[in-house]
Amino acid sequence: MTTQVPAPAVVDVLAARPVVTPRRDALRRLRRNRLAVVGAIVVVVLLAMAVLGPALAPWHYRVQDLEALRANGNRPLPPLSPDHLLGTDQLGRDLFSRLLDGAQISVTVAVVVQVVVLLIGVPVGAAAGWFGGRTDNLLMRFTDVVYAFPDLLFIILLGVAFRETAIGEAMNGLLLIFLAIGLTGWVTMARLVRGQVLSLKESEFVEAARAIGVSDFRIVVRHILPNAIGPVIVAVTLGIPSAILAEATLSFIGIGVQSPRASWGSLIDDGTRWMQSEPHLVVFPALALAIALMSFTFLGDGLRDALDPKLRGRQ
Amino acid sequence: MDPVTHPAGAAGPLVEADGLMVHFPILGGILQRRRGSVRAVDGVSLSIQRGETVGLVGESGCGKSTLGRAMIKLREPTGGSARFDGRDLARLSARELRRLRRRMQIIFQDPYGSLDPRMSVGDIVAEPIQTHRLASGRAKHERVRELLRLVGLDPVFAARYPHEFSGGQRQRIGVARALAVEPEFIVCDEPISALDVSIQGQVLNLLIDLRRELGLTYLFIAHDLAVVRHVSDRVGVMYLGRLVEIGASRRVYALPAHPDTRALLSAVPVADPAVERRRRRVILAGDVPSPANPPPGCRFHTRCWLYERLGRPENCRTVEPELRPVGADQRAACHYAEAALTSDVGVVRPADAAPRDAH
């Protein structure tokens, strides 16, 4: 018996097939999920709107079309008015342009908040899971405390405490709000990553790496984190709608985005005053918010199924 | 020359365990206090000579895998010592130990769990080479191809991912990874148990061929006695964290001196219906006792057929038997090893096999 004994039949079949990387496999399964594809398309449109918003917008978000307003008897213009596709608000500002500005704010929230969540949650969770014992206990009790603290109160307190500083004044105070939302949101990410690391740490391929003599740091970076990335991507995608919603809520109650900038939350807030006579001022921003939230959720659910290692290679 | 990465050339055993213990704490209560310990390995001494293959058998949960891992310090021993080429592994710094890992490797049971699903086969096999800076660039790729060829895989598949391979092929990848550092000693932790029967022979023969070609030393862990007999020079039998018998394969299989060894052997079917009908088998009653609370005296007495036959002698319950010589190159931990040796349980006695002794 020689050592050169590849099973010939199997080898031929394999040779004829293209290389299937785990990523390609996940993408293929994502593409088969219709809802997720629709979600992904809307998300891409939303991103495009946020980036190209100012270029796309027929009006500047703070410009008042006073002429048209006067012509309409100082009442908000209804949808499908000439020059104003979705009408205007009571000050004659183009609603479509303001929605685009809101998209920009929502996407900024999504990005900034998730970056903060990742930057804090992943290292904390990875350290707790990897080192275990006392480190784990310390870090997890700390996250429990953060988790137990009322989010809204924390955000308001931060807002008050740092209002006068450079961070507080950056981006009309928005950056501070975003950071605050992120600072309350990393807790779930830390727990998720810790759980992943705990289970991966016991896996045989990590043991194999240890037997080879790979350093701890490299084991975490090369073996553990890449294998934990699936659930993290899902958590980030599903965390975006709650961040957007948090910002909308803050803006709705008046501590978020300040006029003249428009967030979907503050647009809804403004609109409620005219809800009886001009329902479009509430309906359109609410619709935009709902569509964005649903798209991210659909995409997140689809990613979760596509990245599930148990389903790898199927369908 | 580097004393860590190069053999001292001493005549002593390559690998040696001396009273090795691995206890896992059992934590309980809100404060996670230590409530006791699972004594997975509880005082095992075992030495393996250069070029030798020692088989290790025993029921599930007897601690054989833990012993194998502790011997290359993948598990932290709680007592005793493990030595490699004369060096106490516990005294090495983390750095020295990492470098020593070049000389000792492990092949795992589960060919699915032991390969990182996010790495290509080429990267998996290259990792040990990179870690120990054995080669880089083109030389590294060439070495990976060479290793894949050595284990009988087409080097073309270096770009592919583990999930595209069958169990047997994955196990070959695991073997290639272990060989990448040119080790002297390999712990084979049930390397074929998880494979299809049709593939088991292929992988087993691969391991045997490699041993000859590369002059490897194996600790071969399995629960299939026939497989162990096929590959081992010596065989050790474990029960509940202790080594209960060890000796030259031929001796142990022909004349087992411990009741547990005989019970294990009696469970292996003989491929001869005439002999199979005549020989005596014992089925061990009940489960293995908890390793957190092993029985006093001889750990095996709660399930021992010999203990029952001899009328439950007291010293089995009170005195823990030590491994003692019971024949040429054979040691057993049983007070009544002589009685076990002459029993008809588990093996085919010459009288039974006589009509067909031709082979």
Does A266 or B121 have the greater pLDDT score?
A: B121
Reported confidence tier of residue B5, pLDDT bands at 50, 70, 90: low
Contact B160 A312 (CB under 8 A): no
Q: Which domain holds residue B262?
A: 251-353
| Least CB–CB distance from B152: residue in A6, A19, A213 | A6
A313 contact residues in B (CB cutoff 8 A):
163
Residue whose token pair is 């795992």? B108
Contact call for residues B284 and B303 (beta carbons, < 8 A): yes
Q: Does the beta-carbon distance from B154 to A209 stay under 8 Å?
A: no
Residues of B in contact with A11 (CB under 8 A): 154
- CB A1 to CB B209 under 8 A? yes
From the candidates A136, A212, A311, which should be mutated to test the interface with B, based on the most B CB atoms within 10 A? A212
pLDDT in the model for residue B336: 94
Q: Give chain A positions within 8 Å (CB) of B108.
A: 204, 207-208
CB contact under 8 A, A5 and B181: no
In total, chain A counts a number of residues equal to 315
For residue A6, give the nearest of B111, B155, B289, B282 by alpha carbon. Answer: B155
pLDDT at B9 over 70: no
- Shortest alpha-carbon distance between residue B137 and chain A (Å): 19
Chain A's closest residue to B179, CA to CA, is A212
Q: How confident is the model at residue A309 (pLDDT cuts 50, 70, 90)?
A: low
Least confident among A69-83, A107-121, B36-50, B271-285: B271-285
**Among B234, B264, B257, B275, residue whose Cα is nearest residue B358:** B275
Checking if the pLDDT of B281 tops 80, the result is: no
Number of structural domains found in chain B: 1
Instruction: Determine the residue of chain A that is closest to B146 in CA distance.
Output: A4
Q: What is the mean predicted confidence (pLDDT) over B226-245?
A: 93
Contact B134, B181 (CB under 8 A): yes
A109: nearest Cα among A16, A178, A159, A39: A178
How many contacts does A have with B, using Cβ atoms within 8 A? 110
Q: Binning pLDDT at 50, 70 and 90, where does residue A168 land?
A: confident
Kindly list the distances between the CA atom of residue B150 and the CA atoms of A69, A173, B155, B180, in Å, as whole numbers in the listed order: 82, 64, 10, 11
Q: Over 80: is that where the pLDDT of B215 sits?
A: yes
Beta strands B242-248; B234-239: pairing state: antiparallel
For residue A79, being part of any structural domain is answered with yes
Indicate the number of domains in chain A: 1
- CA-angle at B103, arms to B99 and B104, nearest 5°: 105
A210 to chain B, closest Cα gap in Å:
7
- Please report which confidence band the pLDDT of residue B3 belongs to, taking 50, 70 and 90 as the band edges: low
How far away is chain B from the Cα of A227, in angstroms, using its nearest Cα?
Answer: 7
Which of A5, A213, A226 comes nearest B152 by C-beta? Answer: A5
Q: What is the model's pLDDT at position A271?
A: 86
| Residue in B74, B153, B161 closest to A211 by CB | B74
Is B90 within 8 Å of B82 (Cβ atoms)?
Answer: yes
Gap between the Cα atoms of B32 and B53, Å rounded: 41
Say if residue A3's pLDDT is above 60. Answer: no
Distance CA B126, CA B128 (A): 6
pLDDT at B42 over 80: yes
- Say whether A19 and B156 touch across the interface (CB within 8 A): no
- What 8-state DSSP symbol labels residue B73? T
Q: Binning pLDDT at 50, 70 and 90, where does residue B220 land?
A: very high
Residue A128 lies in a domain: yes
- Residue B55 three-state SS: strand
Which residues from A are below 8 Å from B210, CB to CB?
Answer: 3
pLDDT at B348 over 80: no
pLDDT at residue number B68 = 95
Rounded to whole angstroms, the Cα distance separating B237 from B262 reads: 10
Q: How many Å lie between the alpha carbon of B354 and the closest alpha carbon of chain A?
A: 33
d(Cα A196, Cα A181) in Å, to the nearest integer?
24
The phi and psi torsions of A72 (rounded to 5 degrees) equal: -95, 15
Of B114, B163, B205, the CB nearest to A204: B114
- Residue among B34, B195, B38, B182 nearest B108 (CA): B195
Beta-carbon neighbour count of residue A183 at 10 Å? Answer: 18
Q: A24, A134, A204: best mutation site toward chain B, by most B Cβ within 10 Å?
A: A204
Helix, coil or strand: residue B211: helix
Residue A315: pLDDT over 90: no
Residue B50 to residue B52: CA distance in whole angstroms:
5
- Give the mean model confidence (pLDDT) for residues A73-78: 82
Segment B188-214, tens digit of pLDDT:
999 988 888 888 988 999 999 999 999
Its domain, for residue A203, covers 25-311
The beta-carbon neighbor of A22 closest among B100, B118, B177 is B118
Question: Is A241 within a domain?
Answer: yes
Question: Is residue B343 a part of any domain in this protein?
Answer: yes
Portion of chain A with pLDDT greater than 70, in percent = 93
- Show Cβ contacts of residue B198 under 8 Å, excluding neighbours closer than 6 positions: none
Distance to chain B for A47, nearest Cα, Å? 29
Q: Are B142 and A253 in contact (CB under 8 A)?
A: no
pLDDT above 70 for A9: no
Q: Any idea which of A8-22, B48-62, B150-164, B221-235 has the lowest mean pLDDT?
A: A8-22
Q: For residue A269, what is the domain's CATH number?
A: 1.10.3720.10
- For the stretch B134-159, pLDDT in tens is 999 999 999 999 999 999 999 999 99
- What is the mean predicted confidence (pLDDT) over B217-222? 95
Is residue B330 in some structural domain?
yes
Top residue of A1, A3, A218 to mutate, by most chain B CBs within 10 Å, is A3
More confident residue, A88 or B251: B251
CA atoms of B133 and B140, how far apart (whole Å): 9
In-domain check, residue A16 = no
What angle separates helix B197-214 from helix B167-179, to the nearest 10 degrees? 20
B101–A7 CB contact, under 8 Å? no
Sheet with B104-107: strands ordered across = B104-107, B185-189, B217-221, B53-57, B234-239, B242-248, B330-332, B324-327
Higher-confidence position of B209 and A69: B209
Nearest chain A residue to B153, by CA: A6
Considering only CB atoms, which chain A residues are within 8 Å of B213? 3
Whether the CB of A9 is below 8 Å from some CB of chain B: the reply is no
* Cα–Cα distance, B18 to B45 (Å, whole number): 4
Structure tokens that stand for A102 in this block: 């809101």
Least confident of A249-253, A280-284, B102-106: A249-253
Task: Report yes or no on A14 lying in a domain.
Answer: no
The predicted pLDDT at position A184 comes to: 87
- Residue B75 backbone dihedrals phi, psi, to 5 degrees: -120, 140
Res. B354: pLDDT tops 50: no
A192: phi then psi, degrees, rounded to nearest 5:
-60, -50
Cβ–Cβ contact A73 with B under 8 A: no
Using the Cβ of A215 and the Cβ atoms of chain B, whether some distance falls under 8 Å is answered with: yes
Rounded CA-CA distance B28/B37 in Å is 11
| B161/A2 CB distance under 8 A | no
Distance CA A92, CA A229 (A): 47
Q: How many residues does chain B have?
A: 359
Q: Is A2 on the interface with B (CB under 8 A)?
A: yes
User: Is residue A209 less than 8 Å (CB to CB) from chain B?
Assistant: yes
The whole-number pLDDT of residue B356 equals 46
Q: How far apart are CA B192 and CA B195, in angstroms?
A: 5
User: Is the CB of A207 less than 8 angstroms away from the CB of B74?
Assistant: yes
User: How many CB atoms sit inside 10 A of residue A78's CB?
Assistant: 16
Q: Which residues of A touch B110 (CB under 8 A)?
A: 204
- Residue with more model confidence, B236 or A109: B236
* Mean pLDDT on B158-166: 90
- Which run of H or E residues covers position B219? strand B217-221
Amino acid code (one letter) for A94: D
Q: Is residue B340 part of a domain?
A: yes
Q: Average pLDDT, whole number, for chain B?
A: 88
Q: How confident is the model at residue B359 (pLDDT cuts 50, 70, 90)?
A: very low
Using a CB-CB cut-off of 8 Å, the residues of chain B touching A22 are 117-118, 161, 163
Average pLDDT, chain A: 85
B331 has which bridge partners? Answer: B246, B325
What single letter denotes the amino acid at residue A162?
Answer: F
Q: Which of B323, B305, B320 is nearest to B46 (CA)?
A: B323
What is the CA B69 to chain-centroid distance, rounded? 9
What is the predicted pLDDT for the residue at B358? 43
pLDDT at B75 over 60: yes
Domain membership of residue A115 (yes or no) is yes
pLDDT > 70? residue A259: yes
CB contact under 8 A, B116 and A10: no
Separation of alpha carbons B200 and B105, rounded Å = 20
Give the one of B72, B151, B202 whose C-beta lies nearest to A211's C-beta. B72
CA dist., res. A201 & res. A225, Å (int): 10
Instruction: Name the token pair of B354.
Output: 């006589």
In chain B, residues with a C-beta closer than 8 Å to the C-beta of A211 are 72, 74, 101, 104-106
Q: Which of B34, B65, B66, B127 is the best mutation test for A, with the most CBs of A within 10 A?
A: B127
Q: With contact defined as beta carbons under 8 Å apart, do A50 and A103 qualify?
A: yes
Residue A99: burial class (beta carbons within 10 Å; 0-12, 13-18, 19+): buried
Say whether pLDDT at A1 is over 90.
no
Q: What does DSSP say about strands B234-239 and B217-221: parallel, antiparallel, or unpaired?
A: unpaired
Residue B207 lies in a domain: no
Among A17, A205, A218, beta carbon nearest to B115: A205
Closest residue in A to B104 (Cα) is A211
User: Nearest C-alpha of chain B: how many angstroms from A88?
Assistant: 52
**Helix, strand or coil, per DSSP, at residue B36:** strand
At A251, the pLDDT band (50, 70, 90 cuts) reads: confident
Tell me if A150 is assigned to some domain: yes
DSSP letters spanning chain A: --S----HHHHHHHHHSPP--HHHHHHHHHHT-HHHHHHHHHHHHHHHHHHHHHHH-SS-TT-B-HHHHHHTTSSPPPTTBTTBTT-B-TT-BBHHHHHHHHHHHHHHHHHHHHHHHHHHHHHHHHHHHHH-HHHHHHHHHHHHHHHHS-HHHHHHHHHHHHTTSHHHHGGGGHHHHHHHHHHHHHHHHHHHHHHHHHHHHTSHHHHHHHHHT--HHHIIIIIIHHHHHHHHHHHHHHHHHHHHHHHHHHHHTTSSSPTTS--HHHHHHHHHTTTTT-THHHHHHHHHHHHHHHHHHHHHHHHHHHH-GGGTT--
Q: Is residue B309 part of a domain?
A: yes
- Please name the residue of chain B whose CA is at the shortest distance from the CA of residue A1: B205
Spatial distance between the Cα atoms of A265 and A244, rounded to a whole number of angstroms: 9
d(CA A273, CA A278): 9
- Selecting from A6, A15, A226 the residue whose C-beta is nearest the C-beta of B118 gives A226
